Amino acid sequence: MEGLPEDLTSNDLVCSMYAPMSSVDVERSFSMFPKNLTLQKEWILKCKRADSWNPSSSFICSAHFKNDEFIRDLQAELLGYAPKGRRLKPDAIPTLNLPGLCIQGNQVSTSASNRSKRMEAKSSKQAHDEIITMALNTEIQSSSNKSTLLYDSTEEPPEIIDYKCLYRDLLKDHDKLKTDLSLQQNELISIKNANESLIKINESLRKQIKQLSVNKARNIEIQARKYLSSVFSQNQLDLMMKKKKKVHWSRDEISKAYTLRYFSKRAYIYVKNELNYPLPGISSLQRWAKSIDLRNGVLRDVLKIMKLNGEGMQDVEEVDWMTTLHL
C-alpha cells in the first residue's frame, strides 16, 4: 500500500482487525493503513474497534482482502513461482473476515497489545530497510533458481540487477527532489510576498497619480480663469471649460452679443458656429429684444448698446449715430 515498497510479512506484526481467523492460511502479508484520509477512514470503520490505537502505524493482513484487490506480479507469474509478498491496489478496501461488533479495549489480548506497542516504537525507516532487504534477497534468489527456464544453456545468463543498490539510488534521488521542492516552495513564497508588496506600492502610486491629475486640472482651470476672465464672462468660461452645457445669460452678456449681431448677422453666426466662440443663440437675442426695459420713455438697454457702439466710433460716426437716433 501507500508508503511501503512491498507489503509486510514479518512475524512481529499483528493485524489490526480482530476477527476469527480459523479458516485463514498461516502465510499472510500485511499492509499499512493508506495515507489518503478518506480511504483510511474506510479501513478504520471496517476494523470496528473501540479501543485507543494509532491507524497510521497499524497494519491489516491479506486475509481481509479479495484476490482481485491485489496487483498482479507479472514477473512471478512468468517465472512460475509464488511471490513472497503481495501489493494492494491504491483503492483496496477490506471486505473479508470482518468483525461483527466493536471490541472494547479490555477485550484485546495482552500479547496483541504488547506487539502493537513494540511495532509503534520502531521507526519507519528501519522497517523500510529490513523489509526491502528481505524481499529483494528472496526475489533475487528465486529469480536465479528459475532463470534456467528462460534461456538456453548455450546462451549467457541474463544480468542480475542489484535491486537493493537500485533502491538506495532511487531513495537518494527522492531525497534530493524533496530538497529541491522545498527550496522552490520557499522561493515561491518569497516571490508571492514580493508580488503582494509591489501590488500595494502600485496601488498607492496609482492613487497618487490620480490625485496629481485632479490637482493639475484644478490648477489649469484656476490659471485659465485668471487670465481669461478679463476677456470672457463667467458663463462663457463655464461653457469653454465644459463645466456647464447650458447657461442663463445675463442682460449685460446679451447686450454685448447684440452689439455684434447689430453689425452683421453673418459675422455673428460665423464667430459663434465656426470659431466656437461662446455666444447666446439668435433666438435668445430675439427673446431679449422683445423684453427691452422702458423707463420714462428711455430705452435703457438701447443706451447700453449705444455706449458699447460709441466706444469704438470716430467723432463723425458718433454724430451720424446721434442724428439717426434723434430722427
Of 20-34, 40-54, 243-257, highest mean pLDDT: 40-54
Rounded (10°) angle between helices 163-228 and 124-146: 130
What is the value of pTM for the model shown?
0.32
Closest CA to 43 of 17, 6, 11, 21: 17
Query: How does pLDDT run across 96-129, given as a tens digit for each residue?
Result: 988 875 444 444 445 445 555 555 555 455 655 6
Per-residue confidence band for 140, with pLDDT thresholds at 50, 70 and 90: low
Higher pLDDT, 119 or 56: 56
pLDDT of residue 313: 52
